[in-house]
Amino acid sequence: MSLIPIILAAGQGTRMRSALPKVLHPLAGKPLLQHVIDACCASGVTRAVIVYGHGGEQVQQAVHADASMQLDWALQAEQKGTGHAVAQGMATVADDDTVLVAYGDVPLVRSQTLEALAQGLEGSALCVLTTMVTDPSGYGRIVRDAQGRVTAIVEEKDADAPTRLIREINTGFIAARGADLKRWLARLSPQNAQGEYYLTDCVGLAVAEGLPVSTVACADALEVEGVNNRLQLARLEREAQRRQVERLMLEGVTVADPARLDARGSVSTGQDVFLDVNVVLTGHVVLGNRVTVGPGCVLTDVEIGDDCHIHAHSVLDGARLGAGCHVGPFARLRPDTVLEETARVGNFVEIKKARIGRGSKVNHLSYIGDTEMGTGVNIGAGTITCNYDGVNKHLTRIGDRVFIGSCSQLVAPVTVEEDAVIGAGSTITRTAPAGRLTLARARQVTINDWQRPVKEKK
């Protein structure tokens, strides 16, 4: 016997008004459905079933599970209600398995809550996750008898006026054993206001059989809120961000304004990191001790060593920085950039697929691409590596302690050997030898008998 989540993800999500299947809309950088899969994974589940319909293959392509969890897919070709949807996912469920019904559009559910729901099944035949809301409209109401025992879940559209006043609602998440669920699902009928097979009718069936129904209360209504439109999506995005930023702060990060930091991936940080306002972290971000990130920076898939300072409005993507580097303001590091320790990259500099050696400086207005640079190099303002001949990319090699004068072009493939100095404004097309001054520009001339033209009189 095992615990098997059945995740419902077949609905079209009409109210999203989107070409993208609802469960694939991103929240905190990953699809809604992926959050639910990850929560199942975190609760130690080894197999989950996803009931899919709309956007079939696209949904299957867009999500994945860790190696520790197997994903099975069950097609619900036509959406005939939540009970019908769960029935489609039951094919591989054994009688003594415990089923946990979850939802692909309820992204903030926590693994602890799923575990609590499964535990709540001990001593009962059906356990329902409920929550209290101030406005219960649209939800199924939890109906209890005088002893407080659950007798039914009544959908809004089927509810009378007194029932509609009940503020304890059905989150939709339930736990039940395979054999019971199969029996109840087979007996569902669509004789209700929506003409659907309601999963919630299982409660009434269990009660009719004299079986105990239990509930687990979820204290945080946002955790079990589903996404039906983009307003709800935005609200849950804020909540997801709030959770992550709180975690970061508790781990030792100073955040200038918790409402103005967005993390859309995994972030791990050392101690005493400072993140200024409007920083966006995406993908896999690792920040060492005492790293500071200035306002408006966007960091994607980067590893930044201790004591680095990323100044305002810099964009780093796929870069690795050793300790003590300075970057920006207004710098752009593109994929496969490596800055070795204490390197400096200044304003309006773009670097792509290049290694900048220890202590080397590219401080102003330069493009460095496809380059291997040694240590202690100084690149003057406006230097360009001409790495592309229109067809192929070529490598530029710059040795240790080279000095490149401002506004030079290095036409790759080309090598500037160690300790070489390039005069400002040079176009270098051949090897510049070690330790020498190389210049490649027209000599300056002055025309002594030249006269300024004057305006012709008519």
Chain contacts with ligand UD1 (rule: CB under 6 A): 8, 10-11, 51, 76, 79-82, 84-85, 103-105, 139-140, 153, 155, 169-172, 198-200, 226
Tokens representing residue 334 in the block: 């593109």
**Closer to ligand UD1 by Cβ: residue 233 or 325:** 233
Query: Could you say which DSSP state residue 117 is in?
Result: H
* Residue 75 C-beta: closest distance to ligand UD1, Å: 11
Residue 190's Cβ-side half-sphere holds a number of Cα atoms within 13 Å equal to: 9
What sign has the CA pseudo-torsion 91, 92, 93, 95?
A: positive
Alpha-carbon distance of 415 to 79, in angstroms, equals 65
Give, rounded to a whole angstrom, the gap between the first and last alpha carbons of the chain: 104
**Closer to ligand UD1 by Cβ: residue 1 or 75:** 75
* Residue 18 C-beta: closest distance to ligand UD1, Å: 14
Give the residues across from 169 on adjacent strands. Answer: 131, 141
Distances (CA, A) of 62 to 32, 56, 420: 11, 10, 51
* Residue 23 C-beta: closest distance to ligand UD1, Å: 7
342, 357 contact by CB (below 8 A) = no
Q: Active site residue: 309, 313, 364, 394, which one?
A: 364
Centre a 10 Å sphere on the Cβ of residue 325 and count the other Cβ atoms it contains: 25
* Residue 17 C-beta: closest distance to ligand UD1, Å: 16
Q: What share of the chain is helix, strand, coil (3-state, %, to 5)?
A: 20, 35, 45
**Closer to ligand UD1 by Cβ: residue 76 or 371:** 76
Alpha-carbon distance of 33 to 21, in angstroms, equals 10
Helix H or strand E encompassing 62: helix 56-62
* Residue 104 C-beta: closest distance to ligand UD1, Å: 6
* Residue 298 C-beta: closest distance to ligand UD1, Å: 32
241, 257 contact by CB (below 8 A) = no
Alpha-carbon distance of 333 to 313, in angstroms, equals 12
**Closer to ligand UD1 by Cβ: residue 32 or 379:** 32
308, 288 contact by CB (below 8 A) = yes
Centre a 10 Å sphere on the Cβ of residue 384 and count the other Cβ atoms it contains: 17
Centre a 10 Å sphere on the Cβ of residue 317 and count the other Cβ atoms it contains: 18
**Closer to ligand UD1 by Cβ: residue 105 or 307:** 105
Specify whether 64 is catalytic.
no
* Residue 367 C-beta: closest distance to ligand UD1, Å: 48
**Closer to ligand UD1 by Cβ: residue 150 or 199:** 199
**Closer to ligand UD1 by Cβ: residue 199 or 253:** 199
Residues with active-site annotation: 364
